[in-house]
Amino acid sequence: MSFLKPLSVVSWTALAVALLLFNACGEEGKKALRNQYYESARRPTDSIMGAVFRAHEHERVLSLVDSFEQSGAMTPIRADYYRASAYTAMGDGPKAKAYYHRVMAAGEPSLGDSWVYERSGYRLAQMLYDETHYEGALRVAMPVIAYLDSLGTGQMYVRTGLTALMGCCQLKLGQADQAQESFQELEGLLDGWVDTDQSGHAVLSAIEFGMWICSDYISEGMFDQAKVWADRTESFMPDFIARFEPLDPENVSNIRASVDMLHIRVEQGLGHTAVAARAYDRYKATPYAGMDEGKMKAVDYLMAARRYAEAADCFSVLDQYTTENEIDLSLDWLGEAYFPKLRANLEAGRSDSALFVAGQIAAAYDTALVHYKRSAAAELATLFDLQGKERQIERQHNQLLKQRLWGIAAALILLVAFFVVYDLHRRRVGRRLAAAHASLENAHTELQAAYDQLEEATAARERIESELRIARDIQMSMIPTSFPEIDGLDLFATMIPAKAVGGDLYDLVRLDDRLYFCVGDVSGKGVPASLFMAQSVRLFHTFAKEGLMPADIACRMNDELSQNNERNMFVTMFIGMITLSSGRLDFCNCGHNPPVLDGQFLAMAYKNIVLGIWSGLTFQGESIEDIHGRRLLVYTDGLNEAENQAHEQLGNDRMLALMADMPGLSARQVIENLTEAVDRYRAGNEPNDDLTLLYLRMSEPHA
């Protein structure tokens, strides 16, 4: 999660204004600024548009643009750019994005419209990036960069911004090597710009892009690379402070603190926890740390450092922060902010606050989903609206053409009588041409309808993929990614969905001298299974916190899951509880695969049914008096039922043979070796089921 964007809206905008004031002090600054926007003053219509935008009369912008375009005073590509800018200012993102798409679809422009093309490409790519549509952002950015390279000119802020954005998209898509090449190119561009720029734009951009890239590396867990960009950003800070602190000391101080927070997160990610903690103590002493924005910046570090109570304190300003920054409660924002807030309160033991946040999420989810669908519908409506404008303009042109033809025909009839026969013949030919033209129009309409259907289907697919990415992130946030540090206990687990979202689960709950754990497999796959999985994790966590025995947890979970279960879904589950002081393992196996204990399947006396089918069932528990010195693997059937290209399963024998080769390895090594063995066995075949593994080993107690 990252809260860099709100800082960009407030602090970067304020500093940009300060930069203009700074440039006003010298003629060279004015000249540089004029050169940067050289095209916008070349045409009278652009000056008019600028004045209307400054007056915030955005509806008037739209009417003027229509008039200028119809009269030929403004090119279509420039008109679409101004329409997109007006809708952006009015907060209508779908329409703005549609018009930016039209600018890019027009292809490479004439030299006079080059600034329109590059700005539109940059803004559209940013919008797609913010929507996590990284492939789409790349498809927009790359041809614009190639166009600017062919011209050898253009605005440096756009050129560097597009290069930074392209690298960040490649990073998000798992293309780390290509991202590194883009970032190296960005370094060269920024260094050259900083050396020649006297206005301060270059230093401001270097810090903005450096923070952006560093934050993305942190979110991807690539802390070595994040440190490189944190240090590079730091190298520009002295020049930045010297230029802008006299103009806007408050915002400079806020950005200074924000860069410090990036350093803190990097040090924490590199394992330098003491260094990060000391730096955070210094950060807390800054005015920025007491602001809502500063508190929201701190939660990334606090969650990573497992300082959940402090994170929950910082998250207390989330509602106010969301309102003041006019942030919609979208699906993205719920996953980025409210689910971490829920986890912070849960881990801090603040059950009442966690319950309240869960209620907020539940109440906002339907609204967020409706808003998302309405946004999609607005984009589609905009496309139809654009087609309507095109038809209206075409009809006006046809009317003008007909008037001119009638005038010419009348003049010919009056002046040259003997051309009457020829004129009648010409009219008959005209009627045939009109019929042919009508046929072409019908064909064009049918072709346009087919194109619209294809475009709508493509957009729907992209939206579904985006929703599945969000669902996967939410699902993965519900399972533990850190494991309790307990003397004598080595434990590690992983879950790998076969599709975007899955139905496997595992969870851990530490309660005084007891450690609860579970591994489960929901029937079916995809979104329904992931929802049932989320409910199962929530129920296990709740009942384990009450200190119940595994069999009692199974009974309570079964009663809850079987209510209103119209789809007849169920979950197999192995529930265990280790008494840490004695090494006793109490467990209840509910229709799940038998675990592997010391290389052999665990023999069990009871065969309990799966959870969720019938309410009121009784589940039997079992126990092992002492598991010190023993190795336990709990797994789902994505392990033993993994299939190769010939659809042959890995099987129980091969699985036990793999376990026989790993007696001395750590829990993490065992899990990694098993997942690698499954990949080798599949040999490129798509996974047929989710894979979840939990391995634990208790060492012998000291004498």
Q: Is the pLDDT of residue 630 over 60?
A: yes
Between CA 693 and CA 698, with CA 697 as vertex, the angle to 5 degrees is: 150
SS3 at position 580: coil
So what's the pLDDT on residue 333? 75
Last residue of some domain: 432, 449, 477? 477
So what's the pLDDT on residue 692? 94
**Together in a domain, 496 and 523:** yes
Q: pLDDT over 70 for what percent of the chain? A: 78
* Helix and strand counts by DSSP (H, E) for the chain: 26, 10
Q: pLDDT over 90 for what percent of the chain? A: 33
Q: How far apart are CA 254 and CA 492, in angstroms?
A: 40
Give 442-459 as a 3 state SS string. Answer: HHHHHHHHHHHHHHHHHH
Q: How far is CA 159 from CA 111, 176, 596, in A?
A: 16, 21, 57
Most confident option among 7-21, 46-60, 419-433, 572-586: 572-586
Residue type, 57: E
Contact 282, 263 (CB under 8 A): no
**Together in a domain, 469 and 491:** no
* Residues 124-173 pLDDT 10s: 998 888 888 888 889 988 888 888 888 776 678 888 889 999 999 999 88
More confident site: 361 or 234: 234
**Together in a domain, 462 and 336:** yes
Q: Is the pLDDT of residue 183 over 70?
A: yes
Most confident option among 146-150, 208-212, 427-431: 208-212
Let me know if residue 96 belongs to a domain.
no
Q: How many domains does the chain have?
A: 2
Q: Is the pLDDT of residue 293 over 50?
A: yes
Question: What mean pLDDT do residues 661-681 have?
Answer: 91
Question: What mean pLDDT do residues 185-204 have?
Answer: 86
Q: How far apart are CA 425 and CA 430, in angstroms?
A: 9
Strands of 456-561 (E only): list them: 489-496, 504-511, 514-522
Q: How far apart are CA 100 and CA 123, in angstroms?
A: 8
Question: What mean pLDDT do residues 376-393 have?
Answer: 42
So what's the pLDDT on residue 594? 95
Q: Is the pLDDT of residue 20 over 60?
A: no
Let me know if residue 161 belongs to a domain.
no
So what's the pLDDT on residue 371? 55
* Residues 521-574 pLDDT 10s: 998 777 778 888 889 999 999 999 999 999 999 999 999 999 988 878 889 999
**Together in a domain, 471 and 521:** no
So what's the pLDDT on residue 154? 64
**Together in a domain, 462 and 568:** no
CATH number for the domain that contains residue 574:
3.60.40.10
**Together in a domain, 382 and 514:** no
**Together in a domain, 581 and 665:** yes
So what's the pLDDT on residue 654? 92
Contact 607, 644 (CB under 8 A): no
Most confident option among 266-270, 351-355, 464-468: 266-270
* Span of 72-76, 141-145, 289-293, 417-421 with lowest mean pLDDT: 417-421
Last residue of some domain: 431, 449, 477? 477
Question: What mean pLDDT do residues 226-247 have?
Answer: 90
Q: Is the pLDDT of residue 365 over 80?
A: no
Contact 560, 539 (CB under 8 A): yes
Let me know if residue 633 belongs to a domain.
yes
Let me know if residue 587 belongs to a domain.
yes
Let me know if residue 337 belongs to a domain.
yes
Q: Is the pLDDT of residue 15 over 50?
A: no
Torsion on CA atoms 540, 541, 543, 549, rounded to nearest 10: 70
Q: Is the pLDDT of residue 509 over 70?
A: yes
Let me know if residue 130 belongs to a domain.
no
**Together in a domain, 471 and 514:** no
Average pLDDT, the chain: 80
Q: How far apart are CA 333 and CA 636, in angstroms?
A: 32
**Together in a domain, 472 and 525:** no
Q: Is the pLDDT of residue 391 over 50?
A: no
Q: How far is CA 597 from CA 148, 507, 554, 627, 636, in A?
A: 63, 19, 22, 9, 15
**Confidence class for position 696, pLDDT limits 50, 70, 90:** very high
**Confidence class for position 697, pLDDT limits 50, 70, 90:** very high
Q: Which residues contact 417 (CB under 8 A, 6 or more apart)?
A: none
Q: Is the pLDDT of residue 46 over 60?
A: yes
Last residue of some domain: 442, 477, 512? 477
Q: How far apart are CA 293 and CA 459, in angstroms?
A: 34
Domain with 409 in it:
314-420+458-477
**Together in a domain, 527 and 590:** yes
**Together in a domain, 514 and 627:** yes
So what's the pLDDT on residue 464? 55
**Together in a domain, 471 and 535:** no
Let me know if residue 365 belongs to a domain.
yes
Let me know if residue 25 belongs to a domain.
no
So what's the pLDDT on residue 700? 85
Question: What mean pLDDT do residues 37-52 have?
Answer: 65
Q: How far apart are CA 58 and CA 96, in angstroms?
A: 13
